[in-house]
Structure 1
Amino acid sequence: MLSAIKKILHRINQNPSDNIEAMPDAAPHGPWFGVDLDGTLAVWNETSTLNSIGAPIPAMIDMVRRMVDNDIRVKIFTARACDPAQIPKIRAWMAQNGLPDLEITNVKDFYMERLYDDRAIRVERNTGRIL
């Protein structure tokens, strides 16, 4: 896994413009909700690899569809976005699972209002207190 990450970082450092699709737009489009991919929107377990994306998690797929239907801007927020080769895989996975062509990023900005992620630990704002 470590060698795969090193290869990705090397590729990005060689051609940073290749990752332009995963970068946020220069002009923001307002508030958005981030939804992590692996382990949140798609199954990630001990057999998972970066070569494929796991099966959809129905409750999260439904939630994302409801958000989009209610005009909430949703971005797939995933570390995979640092590798340009992952973007087409993510787009194909979304299409196969009935999701619209959502933005894909690995970058937070001031417009992100909420993040759904299997690794996050919530911290109370301005206090450092773990909730």
Structure 2
Amino acid sequence: MGAVRCVGGILHDPDGRLLVIRRGHEPGRGLWSLPGGRVEPGESDEQAVVREMREETGLEVRPGALVGMVVRGRYEIYDYACEVTGGTLRPGDDADEARWVDAAAFGTLRLTEGLAEALREWDSLPRR
């Protein structure tokens, strides 16, 4: 079976906090990660980011630049910088919790494998 294309959204609020979700399903159930998921057939990455962000966080976003890509098993995950354009933060779909975290809180979370390292490399960790 080939690679599965996935997308994720990297969002910071005006205070520099990062939006993270706690995964409600495998892979990574109970671990904190960026919101995102699979690109459906016929969808562009941008459309998938908008849909996944709405489903998992309740937020409407405008995807921007590709920040980076990681491979986790058979999943190729393309993470995009996003800007919030509307909606109300609430967890949904595959996420059982969603929250904005500062650097101190981020450091206490049980994260999905490689997340902190990737965000550090991409200069996308919480800014405060």
The TM-score with structure 2 as length reference comes to 0.28
More strand by share: 2
- Give the helix-richer structure, 1 or 2: 1
What TM-score does the superposition give when structure 1 sets the normalisation length? 0.28
Q: Computing the radius of gyration over CA atoms, which structure comes out larger, 1 or 2?
A: 1
